[in-house]
Structure 1
């Protein structure tokens, strides 16, 4: 069967891409300051930010990988996301008020105010490196189905996709990113529903057949409920989900920047509730699509399936069973999932580079227009690095790609969540205690990562499963920082508004603090 894109499919994809370019060009004329470029003058409503969050967090890997996981196994990976509402409540009540105070622009400005320079720089560099690796992987992964559908060399797909995303992101700033994310989130949801609808329409028994056959094959299982933290049980995945979502909601610049771009704290909270309310049903739908595909090909066996990678089964169904034009819309949804993650990453890296690494040290000697030019230059450089990384990943084995990710995560993923948690919830830990504990935790992190890669003699390893590297490193940091605070002493900084115990004291002056351009020197 010929699975190349049909003219109507190409037309749907081109229409979507032209719309993205148009949004970028429109907003490029409105970016006259860093305040506009980074946070859109803090003018977005809650529903816009909520859909932007959805577009940012749901990547192309999610669109393809979650149905593939349910198709080949069951729903156990959904447990990661079942804990999302609990962490969202914490974000609404605690995290958002912290970041909304003082008109911050970067998550790491908080670390600077709470601890000082070293943790702030560490957090910024860690975020940049991890984002570069993540974006390169996303670009590579979305290029696989596009190559599968078009027959183009994967290097060409990576380069064209990277240049396209870079154009509207560099030109339009956060406004282009947010509004393209909104469109991409809508396209994503529409594509998801179209896939499910056509599977159900073809099956004689519809949804009932999917549920009955899936249940008989144990495809709805959430994994074993035994307490075994070295296996991928429900409890293991759920605990890792808590840690993952804590890290995202409390210190991921992609999320924090959206808190800050909302027009008020109320709108930022509303955005988080909207995102959380949509995201969990959407992830569940992705898993249901995977189970539905399994049932579909049980009912209608297709010899071609045996020769496909698991991630290619959904694209195969789309082009072989869904009418031209609508299939193109779903392929655009796959592309949208990647683009919304990549444009957010590019903009967030340019933001933290200027706000955390340049402006505190260059200060007001340079104009705001200079920093705007620097932000666009950084975004262009990041785009080149991401495209280069995507090409690199396309030329190495998947095992090697995972090794590279593991090395970077082990060295730089470190104790970021611990830094934010100890900052939010303790008054004892000062900058010195945090910095010493942070350096020790990084060394421990590198040791665990290198042990997992086999670079440490077996007799010197702890035998820790890779699942637990991040949690253990953050736990070690928290324990060390708290104990060191008894030796070094408590913080001498004014912690008004910087911990849960002192937040209410700053309530009257939240909106009165000056904007970033005039207050940046006070952050250190």
Structure 2
């Protein structure tokens, strides 16, 4: 591949990486307790946490896979983001007060208080599985860029990159994660803008040419407006978006950990608004980059493009068309996008494993230092699992990693969204109803998931697109749980503060 490695770019990237490692080492000296390691002593402002949320959610799947999706298809996957403003309002008014109410550390502590042990364990394990798969995807994507730059085998790049991210995350804890996320979010924004500007400037017709050629090829379409369950129509993707974002804002440990780490409820709400206000325009920008690249390679045909995977097209453009130093900044942005998501994921899995899977079951005599050491060991284990998963993704056949990401969210996301929504908005569902409904929903999830992945014969599968799996599983949980609650006497402990109907007002400055 005719892309040159330039000394200025290497220096730019190395300086960035050394800076990150320095942050990890600096904050490692401040982690004396699990409260420090998991929440940074609950001391962060809204602006800092908002940028950290951006760095965590907007990953290399955004930087590389969204342009790839727009390049090979259209903008229909942007439809997922249309739910964000609506869900942000719910987060500010309802979700954040819930999680700030009891100074919780884990999202799944709420499930334990609301339903009991089984839903809490289910929620924790589902989150861990989903995060491991997501981080493996992201590590694979960023490794593609580094492979282009170095020419090293993809497996070696994956292992080296994964170890580097693991080291500074394990050393620095949550405070290192937050501050590196802030830096990475800023670099991510700058890198995206530079890419966008460069491809527009290189086209003789500029923006007008992009809109003209893109429209002629239907590249700005949000998908067909019908309810075909077997295809990625507008409504299919929109429903997936509602379920996805409700699950993220209400039950994703990465978000809940940031709600909990704010120095007040007001700052937690500010963080969510800051994140949402920046994220949606960013997603639009990255879809636009994909369409612009499609027009670019129509104008300047390149036979090599046809041999690349969709996720490799933007890295190729960066390395072959953008000048030195600027290339280094853009590549640093791609690396930043991956690191900010992975460091958050590693820390959040350590958190929920200790809080939800260890502390409730181990003897009360265990010291805080024991759990702090356990968190370090868990983070090391997670790093190894993520590296292994990324190697698997490197040998898989795929359309684009964004499509894979959406399939994973639908198939492996389970009914977490429904668990939280029914907990928040109903008083009828008790632990027994939720546990039985979970069993039914999980069985359906396994059946639909195996069918969507092509494991089961067509003769015994339901012909739906994989994006519908999450909707059907969450809907089934809601129906079954509510139906059971109608035919039995509910067995509740005190629901004070656990539903919108029993929530007490809290001081917004607490």
Alpha-carbon contact 1:407-1:449 (below 8 Å) kept: no
SS of equivalent residue, structure 1 residue 112: helix
Alpha-carbon contact 2:265-2:508 (below 8 Å) kept: no
Query: In terms of mean alpha carbon deviation, does 223-232 or 280-289 score higher?
Result: 223-232
Quickly say closer, same or farther: Cα 1:508–1:254, change in 2 above 3 A: closer
Quote the RMSD (CA, aligned, Å).
2.3
| d(CA) in 1 for partners of 2:430, 2:386 | 36
Q: TM-score, normalised by structure 1?
A: 0.92
Alpha-carbon contact 2:66-2:402 (below 8 Å) kept: no
Alpha-carbon contact 1:428-1:489 (below 8 Å) kept: no
**What 5-or-longer segments of structure 2 have no aligned partner?**
none
| d(CA) in 2 for partners of 1:281, 1:451 | 35
Alpha-carbon contact 2:229-2:463 (below 8 Å) kept: no
Equivalent position of 1:516 in the other structure: none
Q: What is the CA distance between 1:404 and its match in structure 2?
A: 11
Equivalent position of 1:87 in the other structure: 87
Q: What is the CA distance between 1:452 and its match in structure 2?
A: 3.0
Equivalent position of 1:507 in the other structure: 506
| d(CA) in 1 for partners of 2:285, 2:136 | 26
Alpha-carbon contact 2:71-2:293 (below 8 Å) kept: yes
Summarize deviations over 1:363-415 as a string: whole Å, max 9, x none: 5412112211111111111111211222233345449x999999987885321
Quickly say closer, same or farther: Cα 1:94–1:406, change in 2 above 3 A: closer
| d(CA) in 1 for partners of 2:55, 2:489 | 44
Query: In terms of mean alpha carbon deviation, does 62-71 or 263-272 score higher?
Result: 62-71
Alpha-carbon contact 2:230-2:463 (below 8 Å) kept: no
Summarize deviations over 1:20-39 as a string: whole Å, max 9, x none: 11111111111111111101
**What 5-or-longer segments of structure 1 have no aligned partner?**
512-524
Equivalent position of 1:113 in the other structure: 113
Equivalent position of 2:54 in the other structure: 54
SS of equivalent residue, structure 1 residue 507: coil
Quickly say closer, same or farther: Cα 1:164–1:432, change in 2 above 3 A: same
Equivalent position of 2:259 in the other structure: 259
Equivalent position of 2:338 in the other structure: 338
| d(CA) in 2 for partners of 1:424, 1:461 | 33
Equivalent position of 2:142 in the other structure: 142
Alpha-carbon contact 1:199-1:296 (below 8 Å) kept: yes
Equivalent residue pairs, number: 509
Q: What is the CA distance between 1:307 and its match in structure 2?
A: 2.8
Equivalent position of 2:427 in the other structure: 427
Q: What is the CA distance between 1:300 and its match in structure 2?
A: 2.6
Q: What is the CA distance between 1:65 and its match in structure 2?
A: 1.2
1:361 and 2:361 matched: yes
Equivalent position of 1:37 in the other structure: 37
Equivalent position of 2:277 in the other structure: 277
| d(CA) in 2 for partners of 1:41, 1:65 | 35
SS of equivalent residue, structure 1 residue 4: coil
Q: What is the CA distance between 1:464 and its match in structure 2?
A: 3.0
1:348 and 2:348 matched: yes
Q: TM-score, normalised by structure 2?
A: 0.95
Q: Which structure 2 residues correspond to residues 209-358 of structure 1 after superposition, within 5 A?
A: 209-358=209-358
